[in-house]
Amino acid sequence: MAACAHCGAEVGPGSTGGSRFCCHGCEAAYALVQGMGLDQYYRRRSLDPAARLLRPDEDGAAGDYAAQAHVDGDGTSTLYLMVEGLQCAACVWLIESVLSRQPGVVTARLNMTTRRLTVRWTASQSDANSVLAPVLAIGYRLQPYDPVLLGRASERVEKELLRALAVAGFAAGNVMLFSVSIWAGQSGSMDWVTRSLFHWISALIALPAVVYCIRPFAKSALSALRAGRSNMDVPITIGVTLTAAMSLWETMRDGPHAYFDAAISLLFFLLIGRYLDSRARGRARSSAEHLLALGAVTVTVLDGDGTRRLLPPGQVEAGMTVLVATGERIGVDGRVTDGRSDVDTSLITGETVPVAVEPGAEVFAGTLNLAGPLRLAVTAVGEGTLLAEIVRMMEVAEQGRARYVAIADRVARYYAPVVHGMGALTFAGWELFTDTPWQVALLYAVSVLIITCPCALALAVPVVQVVASGRWLRQGILAKSATAQERLAAVDRIVFDKTGTLTEGRPELSPGHWSGEDLRIAASLAATSKHPVARAVARAMPSAPVAVGVEEVPGCGLRAGDIRLGSRQWLGLPDAKDEQTGPELFLARPGHDPVRFAFADPLRPDARDVVRHLKKKGYHLTLLSGDRASVVGAIARELDIEDWQAGCKPADKCARLSELAAQGHKVLMIGDGLNDAPALAAAFVSMSPSSAVDISQTVADVIFQGHRLGPVAEALAVSRKAGALVRENFALALGYNLLTVPLAIAGQVTPLIAAISMSTSAVVVISNALRLSRGRLW
């Protein structure tokens, strides 16, 4: 890991951007800052700005990406690849900028978390190899996207850290045995010859271990120094190296100040901290990465002759028939053609209750088949699945830069130079103004270098963001905006739409004064119609036989001989305004009085609990609806919402939101209809259920799944908790330095204690963020 000359990012020594930069992205960005255009940057690197020749791979064989491209119905091609050599945000900027300059390219997006590159271009203007040629020429390597490869790099690093940790622990334990003997002999029972012998034995054990175990830190530090900058591994490397070198010098001159035990123990605890840090980051890894892995399951394809083939999802085509065994995760989107089962859809909807599926039902990639085998007709695979769409929305949210992230990055960037200056001043102060031996003064300086490492500060914000996104996903909440969490945390007012938001958005039959025979006859007629109100009658008695000879009169109702099911006006019944609080149908048959069936749009199952909780938390609630005043008023009274307004047009809703914003309120708008789209766009932050029309989902900042309203309360609670944890992490990181740095400068902290403190601070910050993933927040 090293610091880039442009962005200060930590990268490895084998970077692709030359000795001064972490990557080509930073080199190009630096060129632009210096007034050099991209074309000049290409020429400086001896590259053709309009390069069209595919760069050969390392083994000399040119790759062909055309086979990986998917041609869409609108004439555009889409390609999903994984980028190797991606180091920092400047790489993202450079690759996106280079691709956007290519003829025919519509969009080019690169996600920093998953390293996934998405390119769309007009197929008639270019081909995959020509589009990607400039990226390959710059030095990045591209390969077909495979979620399994995402974790391999971190696993390799963890194994290296674990091996170094084992070596350091073994060496520290043995060196400490000799050190204890030397300490015990300081009273005069050990002569200088024996002490010198023990020092030499300690050196033979400790020095090879130091050389091996310091590599994770030294590689990063050397790369940073070659680039003319510093990073957090530079003070660690300097401190350990100076301690070991001073101890060797003292041993060679038979001096008493040999601290091999401190050097190797320091590395041991630093490696513990780094290993725990790596494991903790793995727990908080991008939710998008975990989602992608769920879709990478082998699919069993059934051919026309009944034979089975196991294929990866990328080779399955729409229209194929696949078999999903009991307990197997579904790898494609499809429609059930045979079989009945229960499917765990919690990944998609956030609902914990399995959903019963039967022939004709749709199922989605990433869900789990629980009860019985299913045959599916494939409707979408790979990037066309609902799971892939969710991943894309997650990536957009995770790759954005929130305000706290920018603050942490700026502070961490200038931290290392200050640390080195403090270490030098500490050594100079003790050496020049006290009688302390220079060896002890050097140890004090080493303590300052170690204890002020800004690991905790650099982790303060990102780990909270990733944990919060993961919790949202488990509850069926998808963020489409990078700043949605911060804005939700600031909300003080919530405006609800009624239909489809507080209610389920579909009519259901209400209890009434009708008999079972009345309902059976009405349901028989209603089963022949697709009208929403008729379907509600049919759902009330699904066992009713379907009537024959039924005629549907548009705008009026249904008729079968002398039996009619329809509106009051069609049946010639007098108006009764006291009854008309919602949709209604009347059943008329010879020899019987007309029977009224009333309908209501029921509240979401947990609407009352959620509204009660939000009011308890201090949110002011408002209900704005385009429905009639009698209906809106009834819902408002049932939910105890005092502030409501009926008959609202889209402009009325926008005007009310503007009025609230002018009063200084931070308004969350929640709606699902086409008429809600302008208000969703105008609000400070907005949410929409997954059942909303497409335009509302496009405009909203957050989408929640399922039939419950609970995700609204969950999203607000998680956002508030995340904001509090970010502030806590900043306080922990800064408080740690304010407390320990003066102690280190005063000589009250040894290098060993400094290493333990520094490692502990990073682990504490990550552990604090992981609290967000546990427990109920509302």
Report the Cα 399 to chain-centroid distance in Å: 8
Distances from the Cα of 541 to the Cα of 447, 511, 516, 552, 559, angstroms: 78, 13, 9, 20, 19
**Nearest partner of 132 among 9, 468, 688, 141, judged by Cα:** 141
Distance CA(529)–CA(517), nearest Å, equals 20
Distance (Å, whole) CA 128 – CA 76: 11
Query: % helix / strand / coil in the chain, to the nearest 5?
Result: 50, 15, 35
DSSP-derived 3-state class of residue 510: coil
Q: Which residues pair with 408 in a beta bridge?
A: none
Task: Give CA–CA dist 657/14, Å, rounded.
Answer: 53
Helix, strand, or coil (residue 281): helix
639 contacts: CB under 8 Å, gap ≥ 6: 502, 603, 607, 608, 611, 623
- Per DSSP, the residues of 655-672 read HHHHHHHHTT--EEEE--
Half-sphere exposure of 717 (CA within 13 A, CB side): 20
In the chain, the amino acid numbered 23 is: C
Amino acid letter, 617: K
DSSP state letter for 604:
P
Beta carbons of 235 and 424 less than 8 angstroms apart: no
Torsion of CA 610, 614, 616, 617, to 10 degrees: 140
User: Any idea which residues carry the catalytic annotation?
Assistant: 497
β pairing state of 477-479 and 595-600? unpaired
Query: What secondary structure letter does DSSP report for 514?
Result: -
End-to-end CA distance of the chain: 41
Strand bridging mode 76-84 / 116-122 = antiparallel
Nearest-5° Cα angle at 177, 173 to 179: 110
Dihedral pair phi/psi, residue 108, rounded to 5°? -145, 110
Whole-angstrom CA distances from 457 to 415, 469, 731, 733 are 10, 20, 9, 5
The values of phi and psi at residue 519, to 5°, are: -65, -35
Long-range CB pairs of 404-412, under 8 A, 24+ apart, other chains included: 404/460, 404/461, 404/486, 404/726, 404/730, 405/461, 405/462, 405/465, 407/461, 408/457, 408/458, 408/460, 408/461, 408/462, 408/730, 411/454, 411/457, 412/8, 412/454, 412/457, 412/458
Q: How far apart are CA 122 and CA 104, in angstroms?
A: 5
Of the candidates 59, 53, 54, 9, the one whose C-alpha atom is nearest the C-alpha of residue 29 is: 9
The first and second tokens of residue 490, run together, are: 């600031």
Block residue for tokens 């494991």: 279
**Half-sphere exposure (Cβ direction) of 352: Cα atoms closer than 13 Å:** 4
Look up residue 415 and give its two tokens. 């931290």
Q: Which of 203, 690, 166, 196 is nearest to 476 (CA)?
A: 690
Query: How far, CA to CA in Å, does 97 sit from each of 32, 94, 408, 601, 761?
Result: 12, 5, 26, 50, 38
According to DSSP, the β-strands at 374-380 and 321-324 are antiparallel
216: exposed, middle or buried (Cβ count in 10 Å: 0-12, 13-18, 19+): buried
In this structure, the chain runs to a length of 778
